[in-house]
Structure 1
Amino acid sequence: MRSLPSPARNPYWRFLVTGFRGQSAYPLATLAGLIANATFGLLKGGIMGAAVESSGGELAGYTAGTMAAFVWLGQGMLGSVNMWGGSDLQTRIKSGDVAVEFLRPVSVQAAHILTDVGKGLFALLPRGLPSVLIGVLIGGMALPPGAAAYALGLLSLLIGVAVSHATMYAVATSGFWLVETRGISVLYVAVAGLFAGLFTPIYLFPDWLLTVALLTPFPAMMQLPIDVLSGQVTGVAAWQHLGMQLGWLAVALVVGHLTTRAGRRRLEVQGG
């Protein structure tokens, strides 16, 4: 009787583990990231807390405690989601090294996304959890109302990390057609940060801008996971958030798959 293959032998599992282990090789960078998270969390928490207080104790459905939860959960996610427009794929396309990857019997898209997701999962431990702990201890952060919020919130968080890296992969494939992709990366950083809820909850936007934001994948990376994990949305609304995230993940993966296929043909036509 043939035994089932071990997960450790699965190449895609190994890509995930490689990303996780690779990120753990930079403890000083991780510590610097945590200090930055805490510093900006305190500044952002003070500003957003003052905004809630000046609005009579509630702002767009946020109280002081739930706004603090938004701030500190967001700070905890910064090391795990890709809001900064960087991808190893961009460098490998520009150098031509991606041609070697196309010769391997694995999916280039899956290899890059899983490696980046592994890096993001590691960042949750030394950066994410301590940031949230700071928010609980000194930031006045409100805790979720029950165990269901933690379970759904963790699932939503994992999907958000995947959406961010799958979307960035799709953006990085523009390098198959563009000589220089730094402009695309800068635009990505600006739009992603605004619409993901990096600066303020997107529910503070005017109605027209909120509608625009919800038509992009960016809220699925940060705002929606924070909503679920903080208990800001529960029950059916929480499941709707997860459904929206899964929808955007599917879109990002399909777009990345199609652009990778087209980019491979382009390399072959050019003799790569």
Structure 2
Amino acid sequence: MRVLLAVFAYGLRRYSTYRWATAASVVVNSVFGVINALVLLAVFETRPQINGYTAADAVTQVFLAQAFIGVTAIFGPPLELGERIRDGQVAMDLMRPVGFVRWWLATDLGRAAFNVLARSVPTFAVGVVLFDLALPAEPLRWVAVLVALVLAALVGFGLRYLYALAGFWLLDTRGVDAVAWLLGPFCSGMILPLVLFPDAVAAILRTLPWAALVQVPAEILLGRTVLPGGTLGGLAYQAAWAAALLVLGTVLTARATRRVVVQGG
């Protein structure tokens, strides 16, 4: 555990050195949040409600999505694991006296923790200042949102770990990453709340893990969770996907390790 905490701290310190890049990311996220919010406000001028969502709900989800970008890394960056597989450095990673998945998870959680403080909070604050967001008054709702944030980070890591792990078979994961960066934002509610999609399409997208990154946390914040069990059902949904992805990653890592040994890599 001490080793993993040290790895977590290393990840946090490493990303905290890119202060100007982080500041630029806050500006970019805020600007895109404002643009997206204005577009949705124009849409809701024609219809006061769409599938139970009001204009304030939609704008709130926009800024929650922008605040979650850095935590979930839905637009990247990819895990360095993919590059290390390609250039052979993964052989040294496999020799570490710590579980392979846990090592990368601890590193990535350090990155996510830094982004919560330096990127998520300022971006969401911009939305609070510029727009009338639908914010909950109950403290327990905010606690649930924090739990949802942690679970979203775990799901985001699980997905990116699988993308990187594909390098053991494909050797180059840049194509996988390119497709993922296009598919993830569309399926997660990052670009557009899933409630604005046709019902059949939204129902399909809700069954995929990407919904756990933005749509479900947004509904928990708004108190509009459509999953059975309400807020607890939404958190359970996220936890189930996080566990499934981590277990799948562990199983595939074991298979990939045997593949590396057979190939002599």
TM-score bin, normalised by smaller chain: over 0.9
Asked if residue 77 in structure 1 is aligned to residue 68 in structure 2, the reply is: yes
2:233 matches 1:240: yes
* Aligned amino acid, residue 62 of structure 1: Y
Distance 1:228 1:16 in 2: 27
**Aligned-pair CA distance for 1:182:** 1.4
Q: 1:139-193 deviations in whole A, cap 9, x for unaligned? A: 2212113111101111011111111012210221010010222111111111111
Task: Give me the TM-score of the superposition, normalised by structure 2.
Answer: 0.95
For 2:222 and 2:199, how far apart are their aligned partners in 1? Answer: 23
Partners of 1:123 and 1:236 lie apart in 2 by 30
The answer (yes or no) to whether the contact 2:85–2:171 under 8 Å persists in 1 is no
Counterpart check, 1:176 vs 2:168:
yes
Equivalence for 1:29: 21
Please tell me whether the aligned partners of residues 19 and 117 of structure 1 are also in contact (alpha carbons under 8 angstroms): yes
CA contact (8 A) 1:156 1:229 kept: no
Matching of residue 166 in structure 1 with residue 158 in structure 2: yes
Separation in structure 2 between the aligned mates of residue 129 and residue 84 of structure 1, nearest angstrom: 18
Q: For residues 241-256 of structure 1, what are the structure 2 equivalents within 5 Å?
A: 241-256=234-249
Does structure 2 retain, via aligned residues, the 8 Å contact 1:66–1:232?
no
Root-mean-square deviation (CA, aligned residues, Å) is: 1.5
Is 2:95 aligned against 1:94?
no
CA deviation digits over 1:59-106, x for unaligned, max 9? Answer: 222212211211111111111112125111101110111111111110
Give the equivalent residue in structure 2 for 1:4. Answer: none
TM-score with structure 1 length normalisation? 0.92
For structure 1, list consecutive stretches of 5 or more residues without a partner in the other structure: 1-6
Match of 1:60 in 2: 51
Aligned partner letter, 1:18: Y
Give the corresponding residue for 1:137. 129
Is residue 2:142 matched to residue 1:150?
A: yes
List gaps (5 residues or longer) in structure 2: none
**Displacement after TM superposition at 1:211 (Å):** 2.5
The yes-or-no answer on 1:110 pairing with 2:99 is: no
How far has the Cα of 1:232 moved from its partner? 3.0
Of 20, 38, 41, the residue aligned with 2:12 is 20
Contact map agreement 1:153 1:230 (CA 8 A) in 2: no
Counterparts in 2 of 1:259-270, with a 5 A limit? 259-270=252-263
Partner of 2:264: 271
